[in-house]
Amino acid sequence: MTLTEAIKHCEDVADYDCFTDDQRKCSDEHRQLADWLRELKERREKDMNDKWITIDFKNGEICHYAPSEYTDYQYDGRYFIVINEKQWIGMYNLKEIRYIEIASVEDAERGNAE
């Protein structure tokens, strides 16, 4: 389940007709949870927009993605995937990668990464 799907689920549950105190409490809790999940999603998106990605391959090649070039990335166990607006813009076999560095703009400029 993605954060967006979890937010929608919480909003749907919060919008159910409530007839008992327990149902109203459950609805209120889901509304609060949806608010927290929206805040988490906003923070992740803000943090994501401030990170450089550097992929160092075993063959010596290096690939860079600036924060403006992607909107998300993910691992699926075998591949590192770079995404821009729901489109895959890079799919890299982890067996061919020496390391992946994800650093803030400030750290990338100083040469320090996570």
Structural domain range at position 19: 3-46
Are the CB atoms for 55 and 63 separated by under 8 Å?
Answer: yes
For the chain, list the strands marked E by DSSP. Answer: 51-57, 62-65, 72-75, 79-84, 87-93, 97-104
Residue carrying the six token digits 């729901």: 86
Q: Which residue type, as a one-letter code, is found at position 95?
A: K
Q: Give the pLDDT of residue 94.
A: 95
Q: Give the pLDDT of residue 114.
A: 45
- Do 41 and 83 have their domain in common? no
- Do 55 and 37 have their domain in common? no
- Do 68 and 96 have their domain in common? yes
- Do 97 and 64 have their domain in common? yes
- Do 42 and 78 have their domain in common? no
CATH code for position 95:
2.30.30
Q: Which residue type, as a one-letter code, is found at position 27?
A: S
pTM of the prediction? Answer: 0.54
Q: Give the pLDDT of residue 79.
A: 96
Tokens encoding 30 = 């889901």
Q: Give the pLDDT of residue 51.
A: 85
- Do 20 and 62 have their domain in common? no
Q: Give the pLDDT of residue 18.
A: 79
Q: Give the pLDDT of residue 58.
A: 97
- Do 55 and 42 have their domain in common? no
According to DSSP, residue 16 is labeled S
Residues of the chain with pLDDT under 70: 47-49, 105-114
Instruction: Give the count of domains, the chain.
Output: 2
Q: Give the pLDDT of residue 47.
A: 67
Are the CB atoms for 94 and 78 separated by under 8 Å?
Answer: yes
- Do 79 and 93 have their domain in common? yes
- Do 41 and 57 have their domain in common? no
